[in-house]
Amino acid sequence: MDFSIPLAAEVERNVLAALVEDIGGGDLTALLTPDGRRARGIVISRESAVLCGRAWFNACFQRLDPAAQITWHVNDGEQLSVGQSLCEIKADTRALLTAERPALNFIQMLSGTATATRKYVEAVAGTRARIVDTRKTLPGLRLAQKYAVHCGGGTNHRLGLYDGILIKENHIMAAGSITAALAQARALGRNDVFIQVEVENLEQLAEALDAGAKMILLDNMSLQEMHLAVGLTAGRAQLEASGGISLETVRAIAETGVDRISVGSLTKDVRATDLSLRHVES
């Protein structure tokens, strides 16, 4: 997924919403500091992690102080060690104090997603399986979180309902069958989007293959069923495992031979990375 075009606008939208939410009519506590003074701060990592979110972090300070200077020592996607200095900030004292929490919120949350993704990617290393994200994202932060998955080495699924078709149980019931649902999806004439169908057992898998499905999601299947599904498919379609995936189970799932493993917890159950912004003398 190419983030170069939409990301800048998304960063501005996310940061403006975060600052409005936090500042409201003004930062009352920051008014206790002298006006016009400049200050310096450094961000330190308190744990091993994968960095993500520099653009959001920078924008929080530069929105309040266009002259703010942020010097980074590490790039998005790079590994952090305990006690490592990430960056140095020079900015108006009031702007530094006001932007601190929103900036840290962004970089801690996004680094958390990137770090979790990297763990899953490393767990399946050497297999054919790719780790894939889902639409189970924090409201309003989907593109940011999918960028974080990318930084962690994962693969992005569809951004939303508009750029891909995923035929699930309720769609199949409404259409009457997997075959009918796939036919209706193709009739839309949208060659620019992928079509994926979810199956719950090997009988449904066989129907999907006979109907010409090229991307199939195996929903909550056992390891034995996934092994059989890979053999039955014999390369005719890409297979994606989904449902109840954890770090403890993902390696065994990858070894069944599936092509993709979708993990909702990457973006749904986020544990923020522990980072600290320390103020030093200007």
In the chain, % helix, strand, coil (3-state, to 5) comes to 40, 20, 40
pLDDT of 3 above 80 = no
pLDDT digits (tens, 9 = 90+) for 16-56: 999 999 999 999 999 888 888 999 999 999 999 999 999 99
Residues with catalytic annotation? 101, 136, 168, 198, 219
Residue 4 in this model has a pLDDT that exceeds 60: no
Burial class (CB in 10 A: 0-12, 13-18, 19+), 93: buried
Identity (one letter) of the amino acid at 163?
D
What's the confidence (pLDDT) of residue 1? Answer: 60
Q: Residue 191 — very low, low, confident or very high, per pLDDT cuts 50/70/90?
A: confident
Ranges assigned E (strand) in 164-264:
164-167, 194-199, 215-219, 238-242, 260-262
More confident call, 190 vs 176: 176
pLDDT for the residue 28 = 93
Token pair, residue 281, equals 């003398």
Instruction: Please state, in angstroms and as integers, the Cα–Cα distance from residue 77 to each residue in 25, 35, 96, 112, 156, following that order.
Output: 36, 37, 25, 11, 15
Q: Which two tokens stand for residue 139?
A: 């409201």
pTM: 0.93
The answer to whether residues 94 and 33 touch, using CB atoms and an 8 Å cutoff, is yes
The string of pLDDT tens digits covering residues 123-181 is 999 999 999 999 999 999 999 999 999 999 999 998 899 889 999 999 999 999 999 99
The residue with greater pLDDT, 274 or 33, is 274
